Structure 1
Amino acid sequence: MFEHLKAQPADKILALMQAFKDDPRDRKIDLGVGVYKNADGVTPVMHAIKAAEHRLWEEQDSKAYVGLAGDPAFADAMIGLVLGDSVAQSNIGAAATPGGTGACRQAFELIRMANPEARVFVSDPTWPNHLSILKYLGIEAMAYRYFDDETRGVDFGGMIEDLKTAKPGDVVLLHGCCHNPTGANLNLTEWQAVIDLMLDRGLVPMIDIAYQGFGDGLEADAAATRLVAEQVPECLIAASCSKNFGIYRERTGLLMAVSQDAGQRKLNQDTLAFLNRQNYSFPPDHGARLVTMILNDDGLRADWARELEDVRLSMLGLRQSLADELQRLSGSDRFAFLAQHRGMFSRLGTTPDKVEKLRADYGIYMIGDSRMNIAGLNARTVPILAKAIVDAGV
C-alpha cells in the first residue's frame, strides 16, 4: 500500500524555517514564520494566560470530554469578542476547532457538504494553506485580484471586477483584518461595497479573522466582520486565538455559522458538531478554557487587553521605524506603505530573485513572494534590514 503514496510538495514556510536554522551566520534575520516575537526574539506567554493557567491548575478537577462542539461558554465568549452585539447569539451556531486552521478546514467541509458546486473566491495572494486545503478537498478556488505590486495597496477595482464574475451560491473568502500575506486592508467604505456586491449577486461570505487586536485595536479590527455579519443572510467566520492570546501550540479556534434566520441555527449547530465528530471528535479544550476564563474575568481581560495593545503598538513602531530608515537610506518615500499596512505581515512587492538575493547575500529570510513578518524585527535589526533592502535594489 505505502509504495503507492506520492511525495507531497514541501511547505515553503517550514522549509524556510529549516534553512534559517541551518544558516551559520550570526547576523541572519528570520522574517518568515508567522509568530510574534518580542525585542529579545522570544514568543512570550502572556501574563493573563499564566494567571489563568495557575487558576485552572488549582480549580480543574476533571479532564473528561466537554462536547463535540467544545464548551459553549468558549463559543459565547468568542462570539462576544468577534461579533459584539451585531448579531443575536440565537442566530449563531459555533464549534471549537484545533486553531484557526481547523476552523477554516471545517468551514470548507461545510461548504462542500451544503453546496458541492460552490466555488470559493480567494484573494490573490492569500494564506497558502487556504489554497492547499481547498485543493485537497476538491473545491474549485477562483482568484480575485487584491494586491497591487506597484502601490503596495489593495487593487480594489480589480477585486470588484473579479468578484462580479461569481455566481449565486459561490463563496467569497475575506480576511477580517491584517491581511495575510500583504498587510494591506480594505477600508470600511470598500467593505460596504463588497457587501453590496455579495448581496446583489447572492454570494456567501466566509471571513478568516486570525489577527484581531494586531491591527488598529480589538474593536476596530472586528468592525468589518461585524459589518458583514449584520447585513448578509448567512456567513461563515473562522476565528483564531493563536496570535492575540499567544497560545499557538494550544490550537484554539472557533468556527461560526451565522444566519439571519434563527430557525436555521439548530441545523447549523448540529452540522458543525457532526463535522467535528468526523474529523477529530472532541476539539482541544485547554486553550479554549483559558480564553474563556480571561474573557469572562474583568481583571484578567483588562490585563490581557493591555498586553495585547503593547504588542500592537510595538509592531506599529517597528513599521514606522523601518519606513523611516528606508526613506533615509533611499531618499525616497516608496516604502511608506510599510507604515500604512497592519498586522504582522507586509509584502514588499519585489521579485523572487531579489528575495533570494536578500537571503544569500544578507541572511534575510522571508517568503519567496516577499512576505515578511514585521514582528520578527527589533530595534537592532531594523537598520540591518533597511540597508539590505536598499543595497539589494529591492
Structure 2
Amino acid sequence: MFENLKAQPADKILALMQAFKDDPRETKIDLGVGVYKDATGLTPVMRAIKAAEHQLWEEQDTKVYTGLTGDPAFARAMVDLVLDDAVPHDTIAAAATPGGTGAVRQAFELIRMARPDARVFVSDPTWPNHLTILKYLGIEMVPYRYFDDETRGVDFDGMIADLKTAHQGDVVLLHGCCHNPTGANLNATQWDEVIKVLQDTGATPMIDIAYQGFGDGLQEDAAATRKVAASVPECLIAASCSKNFGIYRERTGLLMAIAADAGAHKLNQDTLAFLNRQNFSFPPDHGARLVTMILGNDALRSDWMAELEDVRTSMLGLRKQLAGELQRLSGSDRFGFLAQHRGMFSRLGTTPDKVEALREEHGIYMVGDSRMNIAGLNTQTVPILAKAIIDVGV
C-alpha cells in the first residue's frame, strides 16, 4: 500500500524556517514565518488571553464535546466582531473550525458540494494554502491580476478586467484586509467597484479575513467585508483568531455562510454541521471559548483591544522606519510603498535571485517571492535590513 505514495512538494515556508534554524549567524533575521513578534522576538500570550485562561481554569467543570459547529456563543461573538449588523443575523449560518485554514477548507468543500462546476477566482498572488487546497479538492482556479511589481500596489485595472469574466455560480476569493502576501489593500472606492462587478456578474464573494485589527483598526479593517456582505445576496466568510488574539496553536476559526434570506439558514447550518462531521467531527473549543469570554466581558475586551492596538501601531512604526531608512540610503522614495502597505506582510517585488542574495550574504530570510513579515523586525534590525536591501540592489 504505502509503496504507492509519492513524495509531496516541500512547504516553502516550513523549509525556510528550518534553514533559518540551521543558520549559525547571530545576525540572522527571520522574516518568513507569519507570526507576530514583539521587540524582543517573542510571540507573547496576550494579557486578556492569560486572564481568560485563568478564569476558565477556575470555572470550567467539563470537557465534554460542544456541538458539531461549536459553541453558538462563539459564533455570535465572532459574527458581531466581523459583521456587526451589516446583514440580518438570521441569514448567517456559522461553524467553528480548526483555525482560519479550517474555515477556508470547509468553505471550499461547501462550494464543491453546492456547485461542483464552480470556478474560484484567486488573486495573483494569494496565500499559498488557497491554491494547494483548491488543487487538492479538484476545484478549478482562475487567477486574477492583483499585485503590480513595478508600483508595489494593486493592479486594479487588471483586477477588474479579470473579475468581469466571472459568471453566476463562480466564486471570487477576496482578502478582507492586510492582503497576504503583498500588504497592498484596496481603497474604499475600489471596493465599491469590485462590489459592482460582483453584482453584475452574479459571482459569489468569499472573503478570507485573517488579520482584522492589524491594518487600520478593528472597525476599519472589517468595513470592506461588511459592505460586500450587505451588497450581495450570498457570501462566504472565513475568519481567523490566530493573529488578532495571538492564539496560533489553539486553531480557532469560523466559517460564515450568508444566504439571501432566513429561509435558507437551517439548510446551510445543517450542511456546515455535516461537513464538520465528515472532516473532524467536533471543532476544538479552548481557543474559541477564550475568544467568547473576552468579547463578552467589557474589561477583558477593553484590555484586548488596547493590546491589539499596540501591536498594530508597532507594525506601522516599523513600516515607517524601514521606508524612511531606505529613502535615506537610496536617495529616492521608491520604497515608500512599505509605509502604505498594511498588516504583517509586504512584498518587495524583487526577483528570487535577490532574495537568495539577501539570505546568503546577509542572513535575511524571506519567502522566495519576496514576501517579508514586517513583524519579524524590531527597531534595531530595521537598519540592518535596509542596508542589505540596498547592497543586493533590490
TM range (shorter): over 0.9
Structure 2 counterpart of 1:210, which letter?
A: A
Which residue in the other structure is 2:45 paired with? 45
Distance in 1 (alpha carbons) for counterparts of 2:86 and 2:198:
19
Aligned to 2:31: 31
What is residue 301 of structure 1 aligned with on the other side?
A: 301
Is residue 373 from structure 1 mapped to residue 373 from structure 2 by the alignment? yes
| Separation in structure 2 between the aligned mates of residue 136 and residue 122 of structure 1, nearest angstrom | 15
User: TM-score scaled by structure 2?
Assistant: 1.00
Q: Secondary structure of the residue that 1:151 maps to in structure 2?
A: coil
Counterpart in the other structure of 1:357: 357
Q: Once the 2 structures are TM-superposed, how far is the Cα of residue 89 of structure 1 from its aligned partner?
A: 1.0
DSSP-derived class of the 2:87 partner: coil
**2:81 alignment partner in structure 1:** 81
The 2-side partners of 1:328 and 1:20 are apart by 29
> Aligned partners of 1:299 and 1:309: how far apart in 2?
15
Partner SS for 2:231: coil
Q: Does 1:182 align with 2:187?
A: no
- For residue 172 of structure 1, what is the aligned residue in structure 2? 172
Match of 1:156 in 2: 156
Per-residue deviation at 1:259?
1.3
State how far apart, in whole Å, the 1-side matches of 2:66 and 2:356 are: 48
Taking the TM superposition and a 5 Å limit, the aligned residue runs for 1:59-98 are 59-98=59-98
Query: Deviation at 1:260?
Result: 2.5
| C-alpha distance in 2 between matches for 1:167 and 1:290 | 41
Measure, in 1, the Cα distance between the counterparts of 2:259 and 2:322.
43
SS for the counterpart of 2:168 is coil
Question: Quick one: distance in 2 between partners of 1:165 and 1:307?
Answer: 43
Alignment of 1:321-332 (within 5 A): 321-332=321-332
Aligned position for 2:13: 13
CA distance in 1, matches of 2:262, 2:124: 34
Q: Give the 3-state SS of the residue equivalent to 2:185 in structure 1.
A: coil
CA offset digits 1:310-357 (Å, max 9, x no partner) = 000000000000000000001010000000000000000000000000
List structure 1 runs of 4+ shifted beyond 2 angstroms: none
Amino acid at match of 1:61: D
Partner of 1:346: 346
Deviation at 1:63, TM superposition (A): 0.1
Write the mapping of 1:113-124 to structure 2, written as runs, cut at 5 A: 113-124=113-124
Give the percent of matched residue pairs that are identical in Structure 1 and Structure 2.
Answer: 81
Moved more, 135-144 or 162-171: 162-171
- State the TM-score, normalizing by the size of structure 1: 1.00
- What SS does the aligned partner of 1:143 have? strand
What is the DSSP-based 3-state SS (H/G/I as helix, E as strand, rest coil) of the residue aligned with 2:213?
Answer: coil
Q: CA deviation at 1:188?
A: 1.1
- Cα deviation digits, residues 8-50 of structure 1 (max 9, x gap): 0000000000000000001000000000000000000000000
User: Per-residue deviation at 1:145?
Assistant: 0.1
Paired residue type of 1:286:
H
2:313 equivalent in structure 1: 313
User: What residue number does 1:108 align with?
Assistant: 108
Q: Give the letter for the 1:32 counterpart.
A: G
How far 1:166 moved relative to its partner?
A: 1.2
> Structure 1: which 5+ residue stretches go unaligned?
none
Instruction: Name 1:275's counterpart in structure 2.
Output: 275
Shift of 1:207: 0.1
Corresponding residue SS for 2:25: coil
C-alpha deviation, 1:167, in angstroms: 1.8
Secondary structure of 1:8 counterpart: coil
Aligned to 2:391: 391
How far apart, CA to CA, are the structure 2 residues paired with 1:165 and 1:195? Answer: 14
- One-letter identity of the residue aligned with 2:97: T
Separation in structure 1 between the aligned mates of residue 235 and residue 85 of structure 2, nearest angstrom: 16
- Alpha carbon RMSD of aligned pairs, Å? 0.4
- Per-residue CA shift, 1:264-291, capped at 9, x if unaligned? 1111100000000000000000000000
Question: How many angstroms apart in 1 are the aligned matches of 2:153 and 2:266?
Answer: 41
Secondary structure of the 2:93 match is strand
Measured in 2, the distance between the counterparts of 1:88 and 1:162 equals 31
Q: Distance in 1 between matches of 2:272 and 2:168?
A: 23
Amino acid at match of 2:169: G
The offset of 1:88, in angstroms, is 1.3
Residue type at the aligned position of 1:90: D
1: CA distance between counterparts of 2:87 and 2:331? 49
Map 1:127-142 to 2 at 5 A: 127-142=127-142
Secondary structure class of the residue paired with 1:109: helix
